[in-house]
Structure formats: C-alpha cells, structure tokens
Amino acid sequence: MASLSIATAVLLFTVSLTAHNTNNCLPADIKPTDVVATRLAKPGIGGKVITITVAQKLKELRATCRGHKLVDGGGREIRFYKLIGCWGNPPDDYQEQLQHQAKELASLRKRYRVIEMTCNPSGQQISKLAIP
C-alpha cells in the first residue's frame, strides 16, 4: 500500500513538473492561455465557439521541456507560427502574403513540429466591410 502511494505521488509530481516545464520553455510572446484554434460547437452562425489553448495543444502533443527547447512526445522541437489572413478586407498584396506564409510553413515543417496559431482567437466570423 505504501509503495502504491509513493508511486502515485511520483506520477503526480512528474505530471505537474512536465506542465510547469513546458511553460518555462514557451517563447516570450506565447502564453499557455493563448488560443491555437477555434471551432464551432454546432454548425451555423452565432453558435458556441470552442477554443483550443496552447496548454491543451502541448498536452495533446505530450510536450516537455528538454534543455531550453520545447519538444513533442517524439522528441521533435516545437515551434509556434502566428497565422495571417483574417482580414475583413484583405490588403492588395494578400495573395503574395499568403504564398509567403505557405512557403515559411513548409520550410519550418521539414525541421520542426509547428503549432499554427489562429489569427482569429475569438472564432467569430469576420465579414468584409462594404465598400461604398
């Protein structure tokens, strides 16, 4: 019984230590509460938005802090990428910007596990502004 309690305590300590360590390895501009992605709980306009946070994504990836680097469960280094493209009215060069983003992401994916951060953390539909 005592050995079971010790094993449980060690497991709980390891789990809390892992969560704590991932926070220590986050880039300065990324917080555990930042939104990675959103989705609607039910299809349709005005539905409840479900958010996935950095902390939830890191848990899903079984991330740990190795040295001063954040790595997934397979040991691959994790990088965060803040997406662009949530424009109501896109800029004139939006296609070039999106192409550049796609190239950067493809390059990063060759070497890292990339967590793509949504450009719309509210999850609300962005409508285009009417041009008079």
pLDDT tens, position by position, 57-116: 999 999 999 999 999 999 999 999 999 999 888 999 999 999 999 999 999 999 999 999
Three-class SS state of 38 = strand
**Residue 52: band (very low, low, confident or very high) from pLDDT cuts 50, 70, 90:** very high
The total of other beta-carbon atoms located within 10 Å of residue 78's CB is 21
pLDDT attached to residue 11? 37
Distance in angstroms (rounded) separating the CA atoms of residues 16 and 131: 52
Query: Residue range 43-57: average pLDDT?
Result: 86
Which residue type is seen at 50? I
Q: Would you say the pTM of this structure is higher than 0.85?
A: no
pLDDT, tens digit, 9 for 90 and up, residues 35-47: 999 988 877 666 7
Closest CA to 118 of 32, 23, 55, 38: 38
Q: What is the DSSP letter of 63?
A: -
Query: Residue range 10-26: average pLDDT?
Result: 58
